[in-house]
Amino acid sequence: MGYSKVSRGRQPQASSTEACTAAFNQTIRDKKFTAAGRQEEETRMQLSGTTTLLGLIGSPVAHSKSPAMYNYCFRKFNMDCAYLAFDVAADQVEQSVKAIKTLHMRGANVTMPFKTTVVPYMDRLTPAAETIQAVNTIVNEDGVLVGHNTDGCGYTQNLRRNGIEVAGKKITLIGCGGVGSSIAVQVALEGAAELAIFNLKDKFWPSIEERMEAIRKVAPNCVLSLHDLADQDALHAAVDHCDILSNANMVGMPPLENESNIKDPSWFRPDLIVTDVVYAPTETKMLREAKAAGCKTCGGLGMLLCQGAEAFRLYSKGLEMPIDEIQALLYD
């Protein structure tokens, strides 16, 4: 199994087969498919006996645009692969991961709520995934399942696409859940000088403290600190001190689209870079207010696309996803 090209050679067919094919193609043209629907239909028409399977594991998954995104890329690069979404129950996670080996799948993305659940079933973890004990991409390397976490890479690659490097920067991060933890370990691994993390002091606080210790071990040169988000004086001081401010919690997305973790817009200044992981809406209240103050801003859609691009690079052994094309196709 692998990345063999789909044969494009014309095969001799009986006239009745040609008639059926022509009728089917006309039906396809007559239907008013969405862009994603057209991709799905075309992908089904290209399946062969050598097609390599990839997929998405999670629940729910019906809303996901991952199948459209990856299948578009497979066609663009003439790869004999197909990507499907699998809605998996909690008691089926182990069997689902084992199926990656059994079915010789190239890999799978993992979404909520199973990013931590799949960890025990990996044969190997990358440093970022091991540090935060969360996996969102599984790659089958000749029968060895390698667990990756591309969320943090997506964040830093999106910054890079906007001319921003995290090495040597002082960063204030609001929120240290799944995505926030991924960002925290990645910026630390990529050489951030300081990282101040703010989170609500709730029942998850002890686990955040454990993650902080794990990050210190893999990135000892990054100065880490953890603060209660309720401490507005500490947050103000951190924003004044930092180069990059990043929101990584749900404030800014519905039903909190009219809220911001920065209550006083006067905290923003023109030399501050402000980022948000929220991608719907594409521009949150925090980003709007930061932009009005002259800050450079980066929304969450770029991160979403970049983490998918990193997973595609891993699956394809180095190919670059056409991010701008995917954004125009699925999100604009």
Q: Are 165 and 232 in contact (CB under 8 A)?
A: no
Q: Indicate which residue of 65, 115, 203, 317 is catalytic.
A: 115
Q: Collect all residues with Cβ–Cβ distance below 8 Å to 305 and sequence separation of at least 6.
A: 154, 158, 321, 323, 326, 327, 331
Q: Are strands 194-199 and 273-276 parallel, antiparallel or unpaired?
A: unpaired
Count other C-beta atoms under 10 Å from residue 172's C-beta: 25
Residue type, 80: D
CA distance 229 to 237: 12
Q: Which residue has the tokens 């995917």?
A: 326
For this structure, is 217 an active site residue?
A: no
Q: What is the 3-state secondary structure (H, E, C) of 38-65?
A: HHHHHHHHHCCCCCEEEEEEECCCCCCC
Angle, CA of 208, 211 and 215, to the nearest 5°: 140
Count other C-beta atoms under 10 Å from residue 148's C-beta: 23
- The CA-to-CA distance between both ends of the chain, in Å, stands at 35
Q: Are 193 and 172 in contact (CB under 8 A)?
A: no
Residue type, 140: N
Using CB atoms within 10 Å of the CB of residue 77, give its burial: 0 to 12 exposed, 13 to 18 middle, 19+ buried: middle
Residues recognised as catalytic: 115
